[in-house]
């Protein structure tokens, strides 16, 4: 498989010391086996909280690191899908990327601590804090969008009552590049 040809030399290290901290698996069959194990874990019916399970599977996916590029984005998409499949979200609006980027050193440190010290508790707490912080931020953003919608609705109604249409304002919020046929 082409994905793995360029992948074989990928290593993760300390940017200051150039010390190799982690080398992901590089054998095609090993990666396939690990991905199958991850798939089984994701689909296994158990009593583990979906958010804790998400933290564990995120660690698994990032440790397998199956692609040359895009593992982080793919891992975060898997997180959102997991949350949605477990009925914790109706729409894919929880983006952990900002939290992870803001706390990147903790993210990598805790990934490594799971590998070297079996420190699952701090890793899971990190992910849960990320979900909480991101959820709070998302609620603030949703409220700001709702307020902006009402403000624009009122402004257009007052300044251009002949043009005003609630449906038009809704379409503009859904499709900012709006076409006449909408």
Phi, psi of 42 (to 5 degrees): -60, -40
Q: So what's the pLDDT on residue 2?
A: 30
- Confidence tier at 13 by pLDDT (50, 70, 90): low
Task: Find the mean pLDDT for residues 162-179.
Answer: 82
Cα dihedral 140, 145, 148, 150, rounded to 10, equals -110
Residue 14 pLDDT: 66
pLDDT at 4 over 60: no
Residue 114 token pair? 């799971």
Q: Please give the pLDDT value at position 15.
A: 66
Indicate the pLDDT class of residue 172, thresholds 50, 70 and 90.
confident
The mean pLDDT value for 21-35 works out to: 90
Whole-number average pLDDT of the chain: 88
Partnered with residue 12 across adjacent β-strands are: 22
Digit-coded pLDDT (tens) for 102-122: 999 999 999 999 999 999 999
DSSP state of 13: E
Query: Mean of the pLDDT values across residues 126-152?
Result: 96
Residue 86 banded pLDDT, cuts 50, 70, 90: very high
Tokens (6 digits) for 116: 């070297």
Q: How high is the pLDDT of residue 11?
A: 59
Coil, strand, or helix at residue 20? strand
Q: To the nearest whole percent, how much of the chain has pLDDT over 90?
A: 68
CATH of domain 2-137: 1.10.3290.10
Q: How confident is the model at residue 178 (pLDDT cuts 50, 70, 90)?
A: low
What residue ranges do the domains of the chain occupy? 2-137
Going by C-beta distance under 8 Å and a sequence separation of 6 or more, which residues neighbour residue 34? Answer: 25, 60, 64, 66
């Amino acid at each position: 498989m082409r994905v793995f040809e360029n992948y074989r030399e990928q290593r993760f290290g300390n940017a200051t010391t150039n010390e190799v901290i982690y080398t992901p698996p590089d054998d095609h069959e090993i990666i396939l086996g690990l991905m199958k194990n991850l798939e089984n874990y994701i689909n296994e019916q158990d009593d583990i909280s979906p958010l804790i399970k998400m933290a564990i599977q995120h660690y698994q996916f990032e440790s397998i690191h199956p692609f040359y590029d895009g593992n982080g984005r793919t891992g975060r998409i898997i997180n959102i899908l997991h949350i949605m499949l477990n009925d914790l979200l109706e729409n894919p609006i929880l983006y952990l990327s900002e939290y992870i980027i803001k706390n990147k050193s903790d993210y990598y440190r805790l990934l490594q601590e799971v590998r070297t010290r079996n420190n699952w508790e701090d890793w899971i707490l990190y992910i849960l804090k990320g979900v909480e912080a991101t959820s709070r931020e998302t609620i603030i953003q949703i409220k700001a969008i709702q307020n902006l919608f009402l403000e624009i609705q009122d402004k257009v109604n007052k300044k251009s009552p002949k043009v005003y249409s609630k449906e038009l304002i809704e379409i503009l919020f859904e499709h900012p590049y709006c076409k006449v046929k909408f």
